[in-house]
Each structure stands twice: as structure tokens, then as C-alpha cells.
Chain A
Amino acid sequence: MNGEPTRRDVLGHAARGAGLLAVGGTAAWLSLRAGKAGAWTIDWTKCVNSRLGATGVPACEKCASTCVLPLSAVRAVNDHSRCGRCCICPAYFDVTSDLGPDGLPTQKLCPRDAIRRTPIGEVDPSDPLNNFYEYLIDEVKCNGCGRCVMGCKEPAGLGSIRLEVRYNLCLDCNRCSIAQACPDDAYLRKPAT
């Protein structure tokens, strides 16, 4: 026997090295993930736009104005199981605007016209109040300003619209600019489950 490594020795060393690399890589990935565990989320009970009791104040638009993305990662989402399909939705219409000849407000609340109002079923053309309407939010347009959330809040509305973080858009910044600007500490990092 001489000091030359055999083919078996070389293969064995290579296998051990690959194993160590895999273990080390996994450990590094896990430690990185642990450092960024969870995701940014909005606590509706804290957000002034959806918090019950906070009425008569303008909508907070920090989610729209402070996100580092050109169009915020926050969107308004309508829970259709709770939506009343109202004739005059206070989230869709600016209910303080002048009324038109049909008795409906003439201005919309959304500054980006991101809510679509569609009659459901057969329409009574003689009476706009004699119909149901569906309200769909166009997430391509919505910037999460929260005005519709404030308009829909109980007791004036039914509270079916809320702000949510879209995780396919969120960059998951460590120091989220929305969280730093939120006056109600409603923008929180939710721990991973």
C-alpha cells in the first residue's frame, strides 16, 4: 500500500464535502429566513380608516403615499359576503356632492376611479333606487388610499371594505416606510406561523 489516495477516498471526501455544503447552505438560508420571519400586515382594528368609532375624520392615506413602490402594495378589498350592494354606496359615491336629476350624488369618492358599479339582474330604468349593485375594486388602479374604507365604515356603511397588503407586490422591506409613517401603529409585521 502506498500514500496515494484511492478512487474510493476521493469519492468519499467529495461526498462529505457536498454534505457539509448542503447543511451549511440550509443553515444559512434558515438563519436569513429567521431574520425576516413573517410578513407586513394591517391591523383593521387599529387602522383609522376601518377602526370603529373614528368617524368624522378624513381618511389616512399614508399607505398610498409612503410605500416605496410607485403604486403602493396596499389595496382596498371588498368582502362581497358583507357588502350590502347598496343603491348609494358611501364608498363609491362622494355622498356630500351635489345630487343629479336622478337623485344620485354626482361625484365619486375614489380619486382613481378604481371602483366599478354594476347593476345586478334586471334594471328598473325608471327608479335607480329600485336595483341592487355590485361594487368591484380594480386593483390595477387602486393605490390603497383608504377613502372607500372610511366611507364604508360602520355605522354609515357596513364595513365590508378593508385595506390589505398584496404580498405579490410587497417588497418585504426590513424597515417598511408605511409602518414607520403609520400614525396608529396599524401596519405590523405578522410573525410566521
Chain B
Amino acid sequence: MRYRQFSTRAGRGVHGDQFKDAVRGVGLDRSDRLYVVGDSEAAVLDGDGRLLRRWPTGGPGYCIAVDINGNVYVGETCRIEVFDGMGRLLRTHRDAGRLGTVTAIGFAGEDLLAADATHRCIRRYDRDGRFVNNIGDRNNTKGFLIPNGHLDFCLDANGIIYAANAGKYRIERYTSAGELLSHFGRFGTRNPEDFPGCCNPTNVALTAAGRVVVTEKAPARAKVYDAAGTMLCLIGPDAFDQSCRNMDVAVDSRGRIYVVDTARLLVRVFESQDGPAAATSASSPASGGVRP
């Protein structure tokens, strides 16, 4: 399985689809429109990279996600701003004293999940915004080990959470109740399948076929694993500026991989050289990895 860079989106500059200082997060809706958050703004781009709309956020956004109704969630410091598809602010979710910097957002049924990088766990809230439980804090380190100060996760179709526990060099799978199901990955600098540095992988996404896409820093690169944790493909490191860190990643319905180049404020789009069918064909069941 091989990927090549198909195109880029956004970039550093002052044009409508560009950002001045930072691009931090990407997300996709059901129509594969690309949502980008950076500086203190959110932007929506169509499949060809054309700017559809753009609006300011209340503060610097660290992540962006779109629910099945098309509402846009932007994770910020101690709050989540919820906009409609046109960029109108619908509400602001706060949880004073509990919710810290939100670096990833996901949806499990009607529940809202937020990665709290300040307190190193994933917060689960019900549809009314009431806190339900934490995920990932029942361990000896009292939370995810994230020296890089960034926590990312994604969910599969069954609501299983895939979290990047960077300081433990693992992708961990949890139920929404917080039970650790399994994990894969280990430290190593020689085999590209392993995770190097102080803390990798930093970000994670899933393909529709259940493959796990991760990004790393030092070296900045992306990798694709099957559900059992066997590496299928390495993207980079020559594809990225090597000063990149915490590169957010998303995958569209055709299996294209969108990776934030945090140094050049780009979103790099990669597609399978083996065609969309190879990128979306089913992977092995998500039961692999090490069970705790």
C-alpha cells in the first residue's frame, strides 16, 4: 500500500483560504468538505480546496469536528464553541473547573467526547452537556502520558475510542465507559513500524475500512496500520517539514488522508496510489493488539 501527495490546501498568507500564524486542526463532514481551524478562525473548503466560508472563533481553536447534523465544534481553552454550518454561534459548552484545553472532539451516539489535554483525559458529556465520565484516567499515570501537551483520539463506527497515548508509544482502544480494551505500538527508532522520540504517535484518525492513520513528530511522518497494529504504509518523512509537531489528521470517505503541516500552515492531502478501492477495502477486525 502506497500513498502520494495529491494536493495541498490552505497555506500561509492573507488570502481567503490561508492562515497567518497557525493551522492546528482539520475535520471533515459527511460530504467530505474540509474544515480547518487556525489563528482564531475556522474555514470550510470544498473538495477542490475552494473556500466556501470562514468565520472567527472566540479564541485560538485547537481542533474542529462536525456532527451528523452539520454543526461545527471548535475546541478551545476551557470551552467548546458550537456553530451551525453557516458559522453562526449556537452555544458555548463550558465545564468550569473540569474542562481544560480541548485538543480533539468526537461523537459517540448523542454523547460529546472532548480530549482534555490539560488534565490528560477524555471527557464524556451527554446531549444536554452534563458530564458523564472520564476516559483514560484509570491508570498509574492518572491519565494519558502526553509530554507534548496534546491529546488526540477518534472513534470507529461502533463507538470504540482510539486514543494516541504518545508518552506510552501506543494507540489505545477504550469503550466510552472508559474501559481499556487493547493497545498496540511500542517504542523504537530503527523499525519504522515503531514510535520514536519522547512521545509518539501524536495524532490519530480512522479510515472507513478500520485502518488506523497516525502522525508523528521527529521525524514528522504519517503511517497507516491495520486494526491489529501491523504497519501497512509509511508516508514521509520527506513529505513534511521536519519542524512539524502535533500534526492533526483526518480521512475522507474515499480514503484520502489530510495532514496538517503545522510549520507551513498547509493541509497536505494524500491518496492511495493503489486506487480508492485499496484505501477503503475492509481491514481485519478491530480486535488486534495487546489486551491489558
Contact = CB atoms under 8 A, between A and B. Distances in A.
Interface of A: 52-53, 55, 84-90, 95-96, 99, 103-104, 121-124, 127, 129-132, 154-158
Contacts, number: 73
B220 A130 contact: no
B218 A156 contact: yes
A103 B217 CA distance: 20
Contacts of A154: 218, 245
A130 B139 contact: yes
B187 A155 contact: no
B22 to A, nearest CB: 15
Contacts of B188: 99
A158 B198 contact: yes
Interface string B176-206: 0000000000111110000011110000000
B168 interface: yes
Contacts of B245: 154-155
A99 to B, nearest CB: 7
Nearest to B262: A155
A155 B147 CA distance: 11
A89 B198 contact: yes
Contact of A122 (B140, B189, B190, B197): B140
Contact of B196 (A95, A123, A124, A131): A95
Interface centre among B148, B187, B198, by most chain A C-beta atoms within 10 angstroms, is B198
A84 B218 contact: no
Given A103-B187, A131-B140, A156-B198, A87 B243 contact: no
B186 A86 contact: no
